[in-house]
Amino acid sequence: MGLTIGVDIGGTKVLGGVVDTAGDVLVETRRDTPAQDPGEVADRIVDVIKELTAGHEIAAVGIGAAGWVDETRSIVQFAPNLAWRNEPLREKIQAAVGLPVVVENDGNAAAWAEFRFGAAHDADDSMVLYTVGTGIGGGIIFGGRLLRGAHGVAGELGHSMMVPGGHPCGCGRHGCLEQYASGKALVRFARADATARPEAAEQLLALAGGKPEAIDGPAITQAARLGDPVAMGAFEQIGRWIGVAFADIVQTLDPQVIVVGGGVIEAGDLLLKPARASYEEQLAQRGRLPVAEVRPALMGNRAGVAGAADLART
């Protein structure tokens, strides 16, 4: 199969691209997401696809959707940031564009892209992707295949429990990894520490106009690079928790590679160094047994497009 289209749909954007068999995005286009109107979202997706098919011969379309997709890869059962509830997305888009369509969870699509073309391209069997952004998503490849589960909703890695009875999570549980290792957690940790120890957060507070409540992710990253103790401590906290999650997934699945993506990975070793240290500490008793290498993602914000497009070929 030749060229395919991948469409990555989030709460703010519909990003589409024409993708070749090597995972290269040849051309792309985007629209804003009208998040509260399912019909309008479908129209935007169709607009993107029609624009991209105008100049290329396309064999199929893959859609990466931020939500729970059923086992048939056709219905978005629920999307936390979009008004999709049991939305028959494949049927709608297929009828409008006249091409075969596959719908997949966006984290799964990104995981597939990193496995096929990115940081885990040399793994022949298995990998796990954690996307660390505002929340935490991910995807699992096992036996060279995307692990979707019996009902299509496997790989919700941000909602494994870290702290019983801990912080409430948007999924309805308490103490999920997302509440301790995400971009939201990073900001929460930094704001609390800057309030308690303003003398230690001089650089961070300067970037936030002196107001702890104005501290955000970019300010924390910038301050941490300048050596601000509170900003660095916030990264150490989320790194420690995500390292615990890495150890848990290794004990469960023993993958070849763990890949870390999402917006927070732009901080590089500020996150990865404490995460790897925690991971190694948690697995110290495994001695000389091999464990998965932790790598930063390589596909960036095109992972969802490239992965969805490639899944349309399978």
Q: What are the extents of the domains in the chain? A: 4-112+302-311, 123-297
Which has the closest alpha carbon to 140: 176, 115, 104, 162? 115
CB atoms within 10 A of CB 293: 15
pLDDT surpasses 90 at 82: no
pLDDT at 10: 83
CA distances to 97, 103, 121, 160 from 179, rounded to whole Å, are 40, 28, 30, 10
CATH 3.40.80.10, applies to 123-297:
no
Q: Taking a C-beta distance cutoff of 8 angstroms, is the pair 166, 183 a contact? A: no
pLDDT at 79: 83
CA–CA gap between residue 30 and residue 172 (Å, rounded): 32
Amino acid in the structure at residue 287: G
Q: What is the mean pLDDT of residues 203-217?
A: 97
Q: Which CATH class is domain 4-112+302-311?
A: alpha beta
Percentage of residues in the chain having pLDDT higher than 90: 86
pLDDT at 311: 97
pLDDT surpasses 80 at 253: yes
Residue position matching structure tokens 């500020």: 270
Q: How confident is the model at residue 58 (pLDDT cuts 50, 70, 90)?
A: very high
Whether 123-297 and 4-112+302-311 are alike in CATH topology: the answer is: yes
Q: How confident is the model at residue 293 (pLDDT cuts 50, 70, 90)?
A: very high
Tokens of 254: 């023993």
Which residues, 6 or more positions from 1, have their beta carbon under 8 angstroms from its beta carbon? 21, 59, 60, 313
3-state secondary structure at position 26: strand
CA distances to 108, 151, 292, 306 from 71, rounded to whole Å, are 13, 5, 28, 21
